[in-house]
Amino acid sequence: MAYDPVIKICGIRTPDILDHVIAEGAAMVGFNAFPKSPRFIEGAGMADLVKRAAGRIETVVLLVDPDDAALDAAAASGAGWLQLHGRETPRRLEAARVRTKKKIIKALPVGSAEDVAAIPAYARVADRLILDAKPPADATRPGGLGATFDWTLLTGLDRSIRFMLSGGLDLDNVARAIREVRPFGLDVASGVEREKGVKDKALISAFIANARAAARE
């Protein structure tokens, strides 16, 4: 059955790429506030981009295990969503929503059936979920590593739980992801870059076009 997946382009750092993502009709755009990421953007630059995006696209700030001060700073940017991409518990998600009065996305690592079993507890408190590839133990950051995971792990997940799929998506495999997983949405960062942290307009356009074409089938 045809559908229209929510598409989020994450790790935006420049006005021209932001404008291109909006022109291509993506639903969400993400700004990375994690200093160890090649997509990190300083607070002032982020606030400028959030302001530029206002009324044109939904905006998300990505944080990893933020303390309250980091939550406050992200909320002050004006973005509509906060994405928690660390080891945050369901209780921490609830506290973050109450504190910031923002909608909360929780990114969850998937690498085993045990990881999938943990998803429902987060689904009860998050406004939206992103299912990402579980990073290796020695990874310096929790996502944006360009690695996929075994999508068949999700076959046992309650289909009433809507989620965005992430982890190693690019213009070559996004159609297969749509056909095999049928996620509510897609979240891409490294898969639309010509080098780490540098987005490519042609790759963004091709990714969105390929996703939409597959979703119409």
- Residues identified as active-site: 10, 132
Which contiguous run of DSSP H or E holds residue 93?
Answer: helix 90-100
Token digits of residue 64: 């990893």
CA distance 96 to 98: 6
Helix, strand, or coil here: 138? coil
Tell me which residue has tokens 């690498």.
111
If we measure between CA atoms, which residue out of 129, 54, 60 comes closest to residue 88?
129
**What's the sign of the alpha-carbon dihedral 11, 17, 22, 23?**
negative
Nearest 5°: the CA angle 157, 105, 107 is 60
> What's the distance, CA 177 to chain centroid?
15
